[in-house]
């Protein structure tokens, strides 16, 4: 960890303590939360409010390090082994406790037990994990997928299985445009469903897994999409609302059509022919809805929520990012599947792009239409994706004048993102974000793009060397400027 990163302010994976608290529980919560998440660091010797470097006195430095190691070992279950080291800042020595993501989740404080002593990190704070999150952590720790587990209370017949196979093929044919490719689509068989783990077999009898219930719309695995239109940029004033339940692929189509009915449509002309164009690319809308259905947590009983505001389209998917997925990984095409059986079924039905290709294409198509880069938020409890409507960006004031300026910024950002072939994908993402918000901080860049702080610190000077970016003003109060 660099000095700049330590002094960059608390985040979801960084915490400061002026000194080691007398009651160890105050930081044991963070230790288990980091282990249950993506890891993190606790720095002793820096005040959390002022970032004033106090240091740890030399005469107790090693005894403090030993005490921290022993307390973590004694009070956490399963055992957590941190990397504890010293670092000099402003001629003072601080202690850094580096906690990596654990492989035996959930981690908890022994004295409180697993139900009360399991903690997670949300938006830079440590909080108790609720029942659903503990179950989600258990699944992660056991390397199991919820959709591949038996659906309790649901029984099926061979006729039920045959009906699902038939309907899935019909959906695959419907989603295939090329006639030759339609003819090549194979029937879904019982063996195929078994290999996907949509169903299982025991003692010669078939039983449904949770994926079967999701695909068929059975109530035992709640799967609802709530759609709404709102006046303004908050949920304060409803204009319209709908709620959809049923087979998973039908939910996708109903929610997709709902959004199309409630966004604006313009027109372009190719020669003498008029072509209707939605303000948000339909592919992006459909792909994000599919991702919400396939990658959401079904342990969490919450619903997928799709909201159309005056300024944006927002899609909320229950559950934290699956496994070791990150926003940066998503945008680079790295695929981490939470519900593998469901993903295989959707892939067969032609509802998903090739694994890992969907989100990069969403970002590309949205930018190609002159819109701001989609904003991915959350990830610790649920995932929210915002696509801002024509002429509006995430950091813009909603006045007419600023909307016009935002349209110009979005167009310039798109030009950079699509035409600067000599830049890396990370560099393009950073330039687009800086163009939209010249005063953006490194932490905000990380939150918006998913790129690590360390990588951002390497890219910014590189872009300055290339003559793409310049810094106006000082490090704390200045702004970035994109040079064409």
List, for residues 211-257, the tens digit of each pLDDT value: 999 999 999 998 999 999 999 988 889 999 999 999 999 999 999 99
Q: What pLDDT shows up at residue 446?
A: 76
- pTM for this one? 0.70
Report the alpha-carbon distance of residue 7 to residue 14 in Å, rounded.
Answer: 10
Cα distances from 269 to residues 177, 274, 277, 393, in angstroms, run 24, 5, 10, 26
Report the alpha-carbon distance of residue 44 to residue 17 in Å, rounded.
Answer: 5
Please name the residue ranges forming H helices in 357-452: 358-368, 400-419, 425-436, 442-449
pLDDT > 90: percent of the chain = 50
* Residue 399 binned pLDDT confidence (cut-offs 50, 70, 90): very low
Contact status, residue 240 vs residue 226, Cβ threshold 8 Å = no
Architecture of domain 425-482: Orthogonal Bundle (1.10)
What are the tens digits of pLDDT across the range 276-332? 788 999 999 999 999 999 989 999 888 999 999 999 999 999 988 766 666 666 666
Domain ranges of the chain: 3-143, 147-216, 224-388, 425-482
Q: Would 3-143 and 224-388 be classified into the same CATH topology? A: no
Nearest in space to 319 (alpha carbons), one of 340, 291, 361:
291
When pLDDT is averaged across residues 22-33 and rounded to a whole number, the result is: 90
Q: What pLDDT shows up at residue 30?
A: 93
| Residue in the structure block whose two tokens are 């999150």 | 133
CATH superfamily, with its number, for domain 3-143: Schlafen, AAA domain (3.30.950.30)
Report the alpha-carbon distance of residue 354 to residue 253 in Å, rounded.
Answer: 19
* pLDDT greater than 70 at residue 355: no
Question: 224-388 adopts what CATH topology?
Answer: Heat Shock Protein 90 (3.30.565)
For the record, the structure tokens of 69 come out as 């190691």
Report the alpha-carbon distance of residue 257 to residue 178 in Å, rounded.
Answer: 23
Cα distances from 447 to residues 114, 130, 272, 430, 483, in angstroms, run 30, 24, 45, 11, 24
Please provide the average confidence, as pLDDT, over all residues in the chain: 84
């Amino acid at each position: 960890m660099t000095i700049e990163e330590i002094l960059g302010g608390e985040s979801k994976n960084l915490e400061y303590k002026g000194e080691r608290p007398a009651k160890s529980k105050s930081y044991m919560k963070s230790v288990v939360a980091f282990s249950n998440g993506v890891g993190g660091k606790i720095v002793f010797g820096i005040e959390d409010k002022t970032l004033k470097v106090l240091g740890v006195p030399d005469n107790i430095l090693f005894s403090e390090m030993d005490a921290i190691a022993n307390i973590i070992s004694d009070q956490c279950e399963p055992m957590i082994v941190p990397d504890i080291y010293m670092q000099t800042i402003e001629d003072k020595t601080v202690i850094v406790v580096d906690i990596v993501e654990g492989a035996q989740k959930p981690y908890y404080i022994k004295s409180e037990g697993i139900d009360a002593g399991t903690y997670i990190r949300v938006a830079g704070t440590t909080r108790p994990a609720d029942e659903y999150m503990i179950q989600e952590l258990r699944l992660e720790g056991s390397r199991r997928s919820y959709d591949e587990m038996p659906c309790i209370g649901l029984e099926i017949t061979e006729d039920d299985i045959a009906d699902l196979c038939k309907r899935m093929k019909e959906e695959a044919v419907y989603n295939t445009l090329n006639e030759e490719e339609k003819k090549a689509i194979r029937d879904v068989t019982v063996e195929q469903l078994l290999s996907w783990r949509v169903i299982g077999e025991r003692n010669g009898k078939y039983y449904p897994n949770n994926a079967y219930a999701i695909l068929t719309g059975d109530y035992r695995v709640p799967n609802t999409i709530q759609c709404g239109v709102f006046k303004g940029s908050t949920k304060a004033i409803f204009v319209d609302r709908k709620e959809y339940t049923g087979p998973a692929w039908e939910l996708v189509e109903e929610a997709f059509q709902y959004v199309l009915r409630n966004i604006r449509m313009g027109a372009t002309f190719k020669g003498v022919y008029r072509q209707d164009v939605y303000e948000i690319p339909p592919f992006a809308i459909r792909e994000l809805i599919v991702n919400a259905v396939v990658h959401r947590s079904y342990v969490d009983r919450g619903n997928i929520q799709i909201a159309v505001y005056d300024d944006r389209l927002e899609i909320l998917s229950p559950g934290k990012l699956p496994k070791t997925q990150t926003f940066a990984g998503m945008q680079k095409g790295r695929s981490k599947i939470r519900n593998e059986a469901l993903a295989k079924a959707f892939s067969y039905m032609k509802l998903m792009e090739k694994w890992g290709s969907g989100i990069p294409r969403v970002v590309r198509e949205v930018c190609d239409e002159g819109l701001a880069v989609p904003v991915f938020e959350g990830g610790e409890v649920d995932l929210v994706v915002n696509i801002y409507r024509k002429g509006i960006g995430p950091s813009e004031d909603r006045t007419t004048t600023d909307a016009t300026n935002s349209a110009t910024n979005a167009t310039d950002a798109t030009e950079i993102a699509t035409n600067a072939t000599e830049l890396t994908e990370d560099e393009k993402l950073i330039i687009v974000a800086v163009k939209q918000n010249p005063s953006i901080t490194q932490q905000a860049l990380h939150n918006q793009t998913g790129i690590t702080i360390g990588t951002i610190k390497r890219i910014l000077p590189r872009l300055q060397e290339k003559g793409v970016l310049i810094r106006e003003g000082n490090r704390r109060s200045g702004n970035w400027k994109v040079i064409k």
